Amino acid sequence: MKKLILYYAIIIPVYILEIFLVLFLSAHYESIFLTNFAIRILNTVFVVILLKKIIFNYGENFSSKFLIIALINPLLSSALIDLFATYSFIHLWIIKGFVDVVVSALSFLALSYWMSPEDK
């Protein structure tokens, strides 16, 4: 549980910046999928550097395992946001917030499972 709290303490400040960037750029670009995907990839790469040093510094093959997460996370997040934004009247920031929290929690669980056998 302590690792999950630390995980979110690291990603929340970066994520707040990501939300503002996506909302700002989505007003200027037509594709919410591509806008979110590009920003999410940059955010994911930046955050993983912090996570590896602070939380997952004991795991083996972190980079190869994280690459899977780094590819799935932005793709899943962007696809779900695009889907919900297309078929819903809910504000984009609410959709993005909900989807990204769920996807980041799944990413944390996957990394925890792969990287720390003592926590299973």
Give the pLDDT of residue 119: 42
Q: Are 113 and 69 in contact (CB under 8 A)?
A: no
Q: Which two three-digit tokens encode residue 53?
A: 């040093």
Give the pLDDT of residue 120: 40
Whole-number percent of the chain with pLDDT over 70: 92
Distance CA 113, CA 119 (A): 8
Q: Are 94 and 57 in contact (CB under 8 A)?
A: no
Within 8 A by CB and 6+ apart from 1, the residues are none
Q: Are 114 and 65 in contact (CB under 8 A)?
A: yes
Q: Are 104 and 72 in contact (CB under 8 A)?
A: no
Q: Which two three-digit tokens encode residue 46?
A: 């930046």
pLDDT digits (tens, 9 = 90+) for 86-118: 887 788 888 888 998 898 888 888 877 877 655
Within 8 A by CB and 6+ apart from 32, the residues are 22, 26, 78, 81, 82, 85, 92
